[in-house]
Structure 1
Amino acid sequence: MIELGGSMTIDDVVALADRRDEVELPATVVDAVARLHQQAADLSTRYATYGRTTGVGANRSASIPPDDVDYGMRLLRSHAVDAGDPLPPRTVRSMLAVRLIQLCVPGAGLDPAILLGLQRMINDDALPQVLQYASIGTGDLAALAGTALTLIGERPASAALTPMAPWGADSALPFMSSSALTVGRSCLAVEELLRLERASSVIYMLSFVALDGNPSAFSPAAARAAAATQVETVARRLRALYADRADPERPPARIQDPYGLRVYPVAHGSVVASLWSLVRQLERTLNAAQENPLFDADGDQVVHHGAFYQASLSLELDGATLALALTAPITHSRIRMLNDPDTNGGNPFLAADAHGSSGLMMVEYVAAGAIAEIRNAAQPASVGTLVLSRGAEEDATFASQGIHQLERSAAAYRVLLCCELVGAVRLLRQRGIVTELTGVLGEALDLASALPRDDEDRDLRGDIATAEPLLDRLGQLI
């Protein structure tokens, strides 16, 4: 049971998205939200409060009469507009988990009953349907408005869910005022990429050993000379993996390796640094009350602000996507080395027969297609903005587009790693080096024993499909 309150992590979001745990609301959290709900009601009688005593967006100057009890529901219904294909249940769960975690940090001023309703929705897996195209800019309004209508019973849930009473203006906008869907999707993406980047180091070292690389590239001196964040972390990891050889005296094949082997610690250090920077930004966002307006209990005031403006998150998402685009070509370089008789010491494309056999030729083409997708997704979303709501939002960010692009990059990165793994294992087998590897590399080869051993020209789709589920397991080895 995950007890909310305090500092929650990406792992908590992923556990709830995967239904590996349930969520519990401590009474202290519910009480704190209830106290602020009462204080917010009083503050809204003394001060004009956006979305509560006024309209929203370009309607922010319109006053809402105190006796307009239907305004909250009208606001939810009008904002619950999305289109396209339904998002996967796991993605929807990540959004719900993020929103509940955020609401446990008092600031929204909404009814605490909503936290309990959201808790039931998560634990009972009674999910709203969220479609692909919705709001962009200052929050995931449509997805959260649709979630509210599902909690209230105006939209069906995926399982039985006792409907809540209609919401008032005290809760409608505060519940929607969040980028919970973008943050949830980002949590899932970065958790996957942290596994894949570790798998990349294992696969790199399999290629490195198969190609008799020069270990000076990840020596302590080389790492210090890079003067870049996380390079030493990667180099230390590679040195530990390189020690898992039964024949440590085998000399390197070259004085100076091609970039695919030589600059991996530097390029991959950038990936690691970008991912952990994204983790830190996500966890700050996850544990912050960013609703607009914000009710400041200590200052006894209503704060109208722009803290919800996800410029930092947008930049971090772009940074992770760009880091993958930076490292992808050197992965392709290693795949070319594995296929090249000048570096693999055998047949072109690791074919069984040198006389015109294609071997892994088309695996290199598949890898190139994956790189094209990564590069296409690397156009920075943070440079894009739109003017919305008759100019009320004159610079709405594309943070939600940033996570779409990172998800595309992650999927293509998986394919790229699969292509290298297939080639590295084939060359190790052809050279008879498999039995020389111990430790983590030995475990990696045990996992890779699922890959077909037939080197004759054949349909290789199954090889890549077999490699794909191995990546997450390889990433767990270090």
Structure 2
Amino acid sequence: MSPSAAPSPAPNPVEISAATTAEDIVAIADGAPVSLSPASREDVGRMKEAADRIGAAHATYGRSTGVGANRTTTVSEADDAAAEHGRLLVRSHATDAGTPLPHRAVRAMAATRLAQLAQARSGIDPAVPDALVAALNADALPEIGRYGSIGTGDLAALSALALALAGERPTSAPLVVPPIRWGADSALPFLSSSALTVARGVLASDELRRLDRASRVLYALAIVAFEGSVEAFSPAAAAAISAPGVDEVAAEVRALLRGHDARAARIQDPYGLRVHPITQAALVTAMVRLDAQLGRLVTAAQENPMFDAAAGTVTHHGGFYQAQLAGDLDAASLAIARAATNAHARLRLANEPGYTGLRPFLAEGPAGASGLMMLEYTAAAALAEIRAAASPASLGTISLSRGTEEDAGFATQGVVQLERAVEGYRVVLSCELLSVARLVAQRGATLPPRLRPLHGALAGLMPEHQDQDLRPPLQAADALLDGLAEVSP
């Protein structure tokens, strides 16, 4: 039920360079046209020439050898044999399966791989980044199944993209450049990346950041609606918590409530109203770490092997092993689980007459009306999914390719679980928003100046409060969340 992207105007063009950001990847995913900076293209070309010289002088994984458990098998370096080796490598690794990924995720993957190749350490043919630019601008990308990656490189997905650039897989629009002829010089370098996992992490984190901003506005509305105590997010309380991110959350809530001077209904509120700055700060801290790692990986040259033109060397390594990313993804999912639990607590409070002074479930109409009773169930179902997704993916392990990769990283599973957690969190917040909107209306609460522009939108979610099909107003609440994220404190 949730949108995957916030509404936005036509995106501006994005130039890919060494300074590409996660925000650029989101813009390209949403349809922004791209170009490769002239300096980056020149660097890629120079590195290709250097890699050819270095590869001719040194045994090089994937160029002069097979891959995985075939790494000890020498491959002929004759032109025809090298070309055939590259083509077969791409074809054999294109084993994606399952439900197709959203097209937006495929665009983000292609953009991420382009940004990584722009760092010019792979020795790839410059025709490849040129083809990626053309494919993105023509929106000529393949359908890619969601299975095939385990956190040590998105080989299956990138092979599918490589086959599309070679004209061997259908694309969403016609290719406008000659098909790529995958030789040994470019096949493995193109596949040697976690671009899909990174891209999906970028998109999930972008939506999570919007939901975090929306949750702060929603919490401020809840304080007004429940006549909650402002002491829980006072400067003194924030200082006492002694945890990163609390000052930021508490200060933003205070700013949103500036001008709110209603007396608190209780000397001390339940946890749902009292500990939000703590749970939300834990989420903020997790997002800061995750965003920092994703930002590094968007422009990371992690191809194995990688070349150094100045030193004339080729380095074989395991830098593509995404242990840090897996841990950061897990931390974000765990933080969502705690924040969503706190949101569900406020939802339950809204159904209790002891905290609202109103009828059970904020019902109107005949005795026994159910009102918003079922919002608890819907939110609880989403919360159950969030908690299941919070089981650490980074604890997983498996041995592959005859033991060559004896401990896969499972960052890809971590990003799948984060996507599930973000989707569930959106549902929980939508349920809370609908409940708080009704509570504000039934109590005739006066919103402080910063929140007052939301009054009409809140009332419009459910103009009538008699028992009704809750799906349409819940969908409207879902759509309003992105608007809440734009409210300035």
Q: Tell me which interval the TM-score lies in, with the shorter structure as reference length.
A: over 0.9
Whole-angstrom distance in 1 between the partners of 2:302 and 2:76: 26
Q: Contact (CA 8 Å) 2:303, 2:320: kept in 1 or not? A: yes
Q: Contact (CA 8 Å) 1:102, 1:286: kept in 2 or not? A: yes
Instruction: Indicate which of 232, 249, 254 corresponds to 1:217.
Output: 232
Asked if 1:105 is matched to 2:135, the reply is no
Whole-angstrom distance in 2 between the partners of 1:173 and 1:6: 22
Judged with a 3 Å threshold, the aligned counterparts in structure 2 of structure 1 residues 343 and 127 are, in CA distance, closer, same or farther, namely: same
Which residue is 2:77 aligned to? Answer: 66
Asked if 1:82 is matched to 2:113, the reply is no
Q: Aligned with 1:418: secondary structure? A: helix
Which residue is 1:187 aligned to? Answer: 202
Structure 1 range deviating more: 294-303 or 416-425: 294-303
Which residue is 2:10 aligned to? Answer: none
What pairs up with 1:137-216 in 2 under 5 angstroms? 137-161=151-175, 162-216=177-231
Which residue is 1:341 aligned to? Answer: 353
What pairs up with 1:379-390 in 2 under 5 angstroms? 379-390=391-402
Instruction: Indicate which of 25, 33, 38 corresponds to 1:22.
Output: 33
Which residue is 1:446 aligned to? Answer: 456
Structure 1 range deviating more: 275-284 or 296-305: 296-305
User: Normalising by the residue count of structure 2, what TM-score does the alignment of the two structures yield?
Assistant: 0.95
Which residue is 2:136 aligned to? Answer: 122
Whole-angstrom distance in 2 between the partners of 1:259 and 1:84: 42
Asked if 1:238 is matched to 2:248, the reply is no
Give the AA of the match of 2:181. Answer: P
Whole-angstrom distance in 2 between the partners of 1:287 and 1:86: 26
Asked if 1:464 is matched to 2:474, the reply is yes
Which residue is 2:276 aligned to? Answer: 264
Cα deviation, residue 354, structure 1: 7.3
Asked if 1:398 is matched to 2:417, the reply is no
Give the AA of the match of 2:40. Answer: V
Whole-angstrom distance in 2 between the partners of 1:165 and 1:117: 8
Q: Contact (CA 8 Å) 1:139, 1:178: kept in 2 or not? A: yes
CA RMSD of aligned residues (A): 1.1
Which residue is 1:361 aligned to? Answer: 373
Q: Aligned with 1:155: secondary structure? A: coil
Q: Contact (CA 8 Å) 1:377, 1:408: kept in 2 or not? A: yes
Instruction: Indicate which of 17, 36, 51 corresponds to 1:40.
Output: 51
Q: Contact (CA 8 Å) 1:310, 1:399: kept in 2 or not? A: yes
Cα deviation, residue 277, structure 1: 1.3
Q: Contact (CA 8 Å) 2:438, 2:462: kept in 1 or not? A: no
Whole-angstrom distance in 1 between the partners of 2:265 and 2:309: 67
Whole-angstrom distance in 1 between the partners of 2:312 and 2:64: 17
Structure 1: gaps of 5 or more residues: none
Instruction: Indicate which of 325, 330, 335 corresponds to 1:318.
Output: 330
Q: Contact (CA 8 Å) 1:95, 1:185: kept in 2 or not? A: yes
Whole-angstrom distance in 1 between the partners of 2:353 and 2:68: 64
Whole-angstrom distance in 2 between the partners of 1:279 and 1:293: 26
Q: Aligned with 1:44: secondary structure? A: helix
The CA deviation string for residues 224-282 of structure 1, in whole angstroms up to 9 with x for no partner, is 1111111000000010111153xx1x210111111001000011001111112111100
Whole-angstrom distance in 2 between the partners of 1:244 and 1:281: 39
Give the AA of the match of 1:75. Answer: L
Whole-angstrom distance in 2 between the partners of 1:421 and 1:295: 53
Q: Contact (CA 8 Å) 2:151, 2:413: kept in 1 or not? A: no
Whole-angstrom distance in 2 between the partners of 1:448 and 1:390: 59
Q: Contact (CA 8 Å) 1:348, 1:354: kept in 2 or not? A: no
Cα deviation, residue 439, structure 1: 3.2
Cα deviation, residue 206, structure 1: 1.1
How many residues end up aligned between the 2 structures?
A: 472
Q: Contact (CA 8 Å) 2:438, 2:459: kept in 1 or not? A: no
Give the AA of the match of 2:97. Answer: A
What pairs up with 1:287-302 in 2 under 5 angstroms? 287-302=299-314
Whole-angstrom distance in 2 between the partners of 1:354 and 1:261: 30
The CA deviation string for residues 176-197 of structure 1, in whole angstroms up to 9 with x for no partner, is 0001011111111100110001
Whole-angstrom distance in 1 between the partners of 2:172 and 2:371: 47
Q: Contact (CA 8 Å) 1:347, 1:354: kept in 2 or not? A: no
> What fraction of aligned residue pairs are identical, expressed as a percent?
50
Whole-angstrom distance in 2 between the partners of 1:41 and 1:472: 50
Asked if 1:278 is matched to 2:290, the reply is yes
Structure 1 range deviating more: 271-280 or 261-270: 271-280
Structure 1 range deviating more: 168-177 or 463-472: 463-472
Which residue is 2:22 aligned to? Answer: 10
Q: Contact (CA 8 Å) 2:18, 2:115: kept in 1 or not? A: no
The CA deviation string for residues 373-397 of structure 1, in whole angstroms up to 9 with x for no partner, is 1001101001111100000000111
Q: Aligned with 2:408: secondary structure? A: strand
Cα deviation, residue 315, structure 1: 0.6
Give the AA of the match of 2:145. Answer: L
Give the AA of the match of 1:49. Answer: T
Instruction: Provide runs of 4+ in structure 1 moved above 3 Å.
Output: none
Cα deviation, residue 65, structure 1: 1.1
Q: Contact (CA 8 Å) 1:244, 1:442: kept in 2 or not? A: no
Cα deviation, residue 353, structure 1: 4.3
Instruction: Indicate which of 132, 136, 145 corresponds to 2:150.
Output: 136
Whole-angstrom distance in 2 between the partners of 1:76 and 1:445: 56
Q: Aligned with 2:450: secondary structure? A: helix
Cα deviation, residue 296, structure 1: 1.6
Which residue is 1:57 aligned to? Answer: 68
Cα deviation, residue 119, structure 1: 0.3
Structure 2: gaps of 5 or more residues: 1-12
